[in-house]
Amino acid sequence: MALIVQKYGGTSVGSAERIRNVALRVAKWKAAGHELVVVPSAMAGETNRLIELARALQPEPDPREVDAVAATGEQASAGLVALALLAQGVPARSYAGWQVKVLTDSAHTRARIVAIDEARLRADLAAGRVAVVAGFQGVDAEGNVTTLGRGGSDTSAVALAAALKADECQIYTDVDGVYTADPRIVPEARRLHTVTFEEMIEMASAGSKVLQIRSVEFAGKYRVPTRVLSSLTDPQLPLAEEAQSGTLITFEGDPHMAMEKAVVSGVAAQRDEAKVTVHGVPDRPGIAYAILGPIADAGINVDVIVQNVSHDGTTDLSFTLSRGDLPRAMALLNDKVRSHIQCKDVTGDDRMAKVSIVGLGMRSHAGIAAKMFRTLAEEGINIQMISTSEIKISVVIDEKYAELAVRVLHKAFELEQD
């Protein structure tokens, strides 16, 4: 008997019919003797509908009130999933975040979980009930409803699994696992049976949309065995088969780890990026902060940052950001920063993509970067920025080459072979 936390995304609970399928699936696990905590997202489209209503009333809506409004979507889903379970004869009870309670800080719309009181859930499990907990939300110390930000239900599920010391956190979604590349771009892409926590972190930041990065961080911090699997299979799929499906996130020291021998595990692309270059910056201490400080203060997230060696006492600093933030960033740099730091020019390019290869094996293998650059060069793809970590190499290229780059890299590293 295992304690399992299952998270179901918005598509998985998108209609009464689909909620019934969720209940069938949960009932199957329950019937096999497992203890279940289920975390549903809001029904597909519901969160957007609520946020649009909020924005129609106040263009930059008050964060406390947005949270009060947006959290209702998951609360409704939780109750509906409980009803579907009860209809199957499975004892169940739903909880909003404040009822559990899931205590967070007070950073509305992007709150962080501080503590989870699992007593109430433990009592339900002991009584043979399935506990259904609304994802995406919590409550702060003053009793205000908070939300965890987009994709926050993944984080809710992993955090609940950590608090309950669950045997596995299962993230049911509309893809059937983590692939070596996006199968819509690379038909030969292969599902990974396991992926390490570090690789998953890099893949999330490299543009793979399978899991929200904060939930992966949480899984890593508390070493929560987390599996990504499909909610679109037949709910009556034999349990033994379903339990081995999808992709399991593993940790250093896990017995699973030794099995994973590939050097490169996957290729990911992040489109809709933009690049800013500040040219001819005087190369002196504090200059990077002078440029990026005002950007951060404006709430603009920066991704890759590259600064090269200096010539003649000046250097160029480039960084990437979401395409939508480019006009604001350019205005900020031209109006406030440029005269202050006395650079030569500021240029922006809004048609960029970041393509990354990720793999734990890179740590101990030379020549991976060289192979990546050669492969791209052979296709005539110009690399504009390079950024590396121990287990990831990212290049920023013209967006029009993004899909081609993913395909040729997938082939070059033979990712289609198990």
Contact residues for a second copy, defined by CB under 8 A: 16, 19-20, 23, 50, 53-54, 56-59, 61-62, 64-69, 71-73, 75-76, 78-80, 82-84, 86-87, 93-94, 96, 98-99, 143-145
CB of 42 to a second copy, least distance (A): 10
User: Parallel, antiparallel, or unpaired for β 102-104 and 3-8?
Assistant: unpaired
Nearer to a second copy, 71 or 333 (CB): 71
Q: How far apart are CA 318 and CA 243, in angstroms?
A: 45
CB of 376 to a second copy, least distance (A): 48
When the beta carbons of 98 and 179 are compared against a second copy, the nearer one is: 98
SS3 string, the chain, reads CCEEEEEECCCCCCCHHHHHHHHHHHHHHHHCCCEEEEEECCCCCHHHHHHHHHHHHCCCCCHHHHHHHHHHHHHHHHHHHHHHHHHCCCCEEEECHHHHCEEECCCCCCCCEEEECCHHHHHHHHCCCEEEECCCEEECCCCCEEECCCCHHHHHHHHHHHHCCCCEEEEEECCCCCECCCCCCCCCCCECCEEEHHHHHHHHHCCCCCCCHHHHHHHHHCCCCEEEEECCCCCCCCHHHHHCCCEEEECCCCHHHHHCCCCCCEEEEEEEEEEEEEEEEECCCCHHHHHHHHHHHCCCCEEEEEECCCECCEEEEEEEEEHHHHHHHHHHHHHHHHHHHCCCEEEEEEEEEEEEEECHHHHHCCCHHHHHHHHHHHCCCCEEEEEEECCEEEEEEEHHHHHHHHHHHHHHCCCCCC
Closest CA to 180 of 273, 266, 279: 266
Taken in order 76, 82, 88, 89, is the CA torsion positive or negative? negative
| Residue number, 47 or 394, with CB nearest to a second copy | 47
**Could you tell me the smallest distance in angstroms from the CB atom of residue 29 to a second copy?**
19
CB-nearer residue toward a second copy: 49 or 400: 49
Q: Minimum Å distance from CB 62 to a second copy?
A: 5
Q: Which residue's CB is nearer to a second copy, number 20 or number 190? A: 20
Tell me the HSE value of 335 on the side-chain side, using a 13 A CA sphere. 8
* φ, ψ dihedrals at 323, nearest 5°: -55, -40
In the complex, minimum distance from the CB of residue 199 to a second copy, in angstroms, rounded to a whole number:
38
State in angstroms the smallest separation of the CB of 31 from a second copy.
19
150 versus 165: smaller Cβ distance to a second copy: 150
Contact assessment for residue 137 and residue 94, using Cβ atoms and an 8 Å cutoff: no
Q: Which CB sits closer to a second copy, 143 or 380?
A: 143
Please report how close the Cβ of residue 175 comes to a second copy at its closest, in angstroms.
26
CB 214 to a second copy: min, Å: 24
> Considering beta carbons, is residue 73 or 359 the nearer one to a second copy?
73
Query: Measured from the CB atom, is 67 or 242 closer to a second copy?
Result: 67
For a second copy, the closer of residues 70 and 317 by Cβ is 70
Beta carbon of residue 410, minimum distance to a second copy (angstroms, whole number)? 42
CB of 87 to a second copy, least distance (A): 4
> Can you tell me which residue has the tokens 């599996």?
227
Give the shortest CB-55-to-a second copy separation in angstroms: 9
**Nearer CB in complex with a second copy: 59/253:** 59
